[in-house]
Amino acid sequence: MPDAQSVLPPLVIKSKRIAVPIVQGGMGVGVSLHPLASAVAREGGLGLLSSAALDRLVSRRLHRTVDTYEAVRDEVVLARSQGGFAGINIMVALQRDYVDSVKGAIDGGADVIVAGAGLPTSLPAIHDPRDTALIPIVSSARALEIICKKWEKLRYRPDAVVLEGPLAGGHLGFRLNEIDLPSNALEVLLPQAKDLARRYGDFPVIAAGGIFTHEDIVRFMQQGADGVQMATRFLATEESSADVAYKQAVVAATKEDILVARDSASPCGLPFRVLRQSPMFVSALQRRRKPHCDKGYVLQNDARGAFSLCPAKDDSDHHFCICNGLLSSAGYNPEAEEPLYTVGSNAYRVESVVPVKVLMDELRGRAP
């Protein structure tokens, strides 16, 4: 039996009572699809899809072309179809598909939209959220205050916030020289964000980045977190849609294999935590990959307002093509593109691939 102090309380977001206060991070591209999100939801947690490149992934599965709106809407419906709570992570940096992703998620009945990789300052104005909770991802109390002030003008406040520290995987909300600063440790950032959340309506604060065990969850909740978000642990599950080689690379990884890309980096302009052995990352470092961009999810506006700009289209010396690399790591056209493996800082502690149920039992403190 678990110790009384280790029993995890529910996480309540916009009147939704999530029995286990664990949010499965939305991992893109193609890792967090409906099999993973629905499995987490069935176990009492909050399952998240990733909207990144969802149109392409769903089109391949259905053997017909669907647009971003339809893909997101339908994937949300599938994720919620077996009970529990499920939503979606939408990257602000993917500007071309951002609005359609938000609309599709809300119309599909997503329980939550978690929005990061940029400040989602206009999120409440895109589409009437109805019962969908709107949750920004931030890496500081300052960023949270900016969002709260912007949303106040839209007569909305965050339904919760994910506070992501520098130990997370994928894109990081810190400059390279800020990642290792003691002042940016999640333990330091949490009380600051909690105080600000109380000032703007006392909404839940969900801690993220480097949380690995049940004991970690208990510790952060004792420090004031209302819940936690975890991604890497769910990457190495049977229900994750990551390619088998990706999962095996995580299991085989050592601490020294996990690094933050410095020279060759993501075209989003954000530091990016990867496995050193990622084939696309290796090619980028060795200057062996020719510039190539045929997916375009990271495209930004040019002077005419058209989505045409991406550093990886022209410069493989300093940028890797995140669209192709991550699609390949989810098993999409791996024979044509080298995969890119993104992980959290504790990925080296993953020892095996397990079912979601086994992982959730461990994380909530149930004896095996």
CA dist 281 to 75, 286, 290, 323, Å? Answer: 30, 9, 13, 13
What pLDDT is stored for residue 2 in this prediction?
A: 44
State yes or no: pLDDT of 128 exceeds 90. Answer: yes
Confidence of residue 288 (pLDDT cuts 50, 70, 90): low
CATH code (residue 144): 3.20.20.70
Judged against a pLDDT cut of 70, whether residue 286 lies above it is answered with no
Residues 48 and 169 reside in one and the same domain: yes
Q: What gap in Å lies between CA 191 and CA 181, rounded to an integer? A: 17
Residue-wise pLDDT for 100-127, tens only, equals 999 999 999 999 999 988 899 999 999 9
**341 with 208, same domain?**
no
pLDDT of residue 141: 95
Asked if 266 and 155 sit in the same domain, the reply is no
As for how many domains the chain has, the answer is: 2
223/287 same-domain check: no
**Model confidence at 20: pLDDT above 90:** yes
Same domain, 235 and 300: no
Both tokens of 354, joined, read 């397990």
User: Would the pLDDT of 198 be above 50?
Assistant: yes
Q: Residue 340 and residue 278: Cα distance in Å, rounded?
A: 5
**Tell me: the pLDDT tens digits for 163-195?**
999 888 877 777 777 777 888 899 999 999 999
129 shares its domain with 18? yes
Residue-number span of the structural domain to which 276 is assigned: 244-347
* Any domain includes 368: no
The Cα angle at residue 324 between residues 296 and 331, in degrees rounded to 5 = 130
Together in a domain, 337 and 298 = yes
Task: Dump the DSSP string for 232-283.
Answer: HHHHTBTT--S-HHHHHHHHH--GGGEEEE-SSB-TTSS-EEEETT-HHHHH
Residue 281 scores a pLDDT above 60: yes
**Nearest Cα residue to 279 out of 264, 300, 294:** 264
pLDDT one-digit tens code per residue, 222-276? 999 999 999 999 999 999 999 899 999 999 999 999 988 765 556 666 778 888 8
Q: Is pLDDT of 57 > 70?
A: yes
Residues 202 and 271 in one domain: no
At residue 317, φ and ψ (nearest 5 deg) are: -75, -30
**CA separation for the pair 168, 208 (Å, rounded):** 7
Kindly compute the dihedral angle of the four CA atoms of residues 64, 84, 37, 104, in this order, to the nearest 10 degrees.
Answer: 40
The answer on 202 and 261 residing in a single domain is: no
Q: What band does 329 get if pLDDT is binned at 50, 70 and 90? A: confident
Closest CA to 253 of 274, 280, 283, 284: 274
Q: Of 6-20, 78-92, 248-262, 298-312, which gets the smallest average pLDDT?
A: 298-312
Beta bridge partners of 49: 88
Same domain, 304 and 181: no
